[in-house]
Amino acid sequence: MKSVLEQIEEMRTRLTQTNTNERTLVRSLGEALNRIDDELLHEVRMVTAQYNARRSAIMEELQNLAATIGTLPNYAHHPMPALEDGPVSRELPAYEPPTNDQQPRVLGRGDWRQATTNIQDELDFHLHGLPSRH
């Protein structure tokens, strides 16, 4: 049978080995966590770079769109057929709404002043029930 001192020495040896093993495991765990953190940081930076690249491309497209709003497209490479056929009439034909399921009739040129008066008369009639002033 072993003496109490020998048993205490064995326990101390086992505790020292256990302590050493646990320190090694804790160091390994710390290193593994640091590696995972570095990988995560790298992935976040990659996602951020991709997001910034997409955002820059979208901003560039929006700026191009804003620059072209209100401008006419360049048809130099594809001329319009009406321009190739000869001079274009600058007068628009007058429009008369169809009645009784007829096709609309296009008349000769109209007077824009009369057309605006007609619009005002229609609005007055429908909104206020007033007859035409003219």
Encode burial over 83-108: b for 16+ CB neighbours within 10 A, e otherwise: eeeeeeeeeeeeeeeeeeeeeeeeee
Please give the structure tokens belonging to residue 98. Answer: 């169809």
Query: In which band, very low, low, confident or very high, does the pLDDT at 116 lie, cut at 50, 70 and 90?
Result: confident
Report pLDDT for 82: 54
Distance separating alpha carbons of residues 44 and 32, to the nearest angstrom: 18
56-110 per-position pLDDT tens digit: 999 999 998 888 887 766 666 655 555 555 565 666 666 666 666 665 555 556 6
- Whether residue 44 is predicted with pLDDT greater than 90 in this model: the reply is yes
pLDDT higher for 25 or 134?
A: 25
What are the boundaries of each domain within the chain? 1-70, 91-128
- Positive or negative torsion for Cα 71, 73, 75, 76: positive
Q: pTM of the full predicted structure?
A: 0.41
Residue 99 has what DSSP assignment? -
Report pLDDT for 98: 63
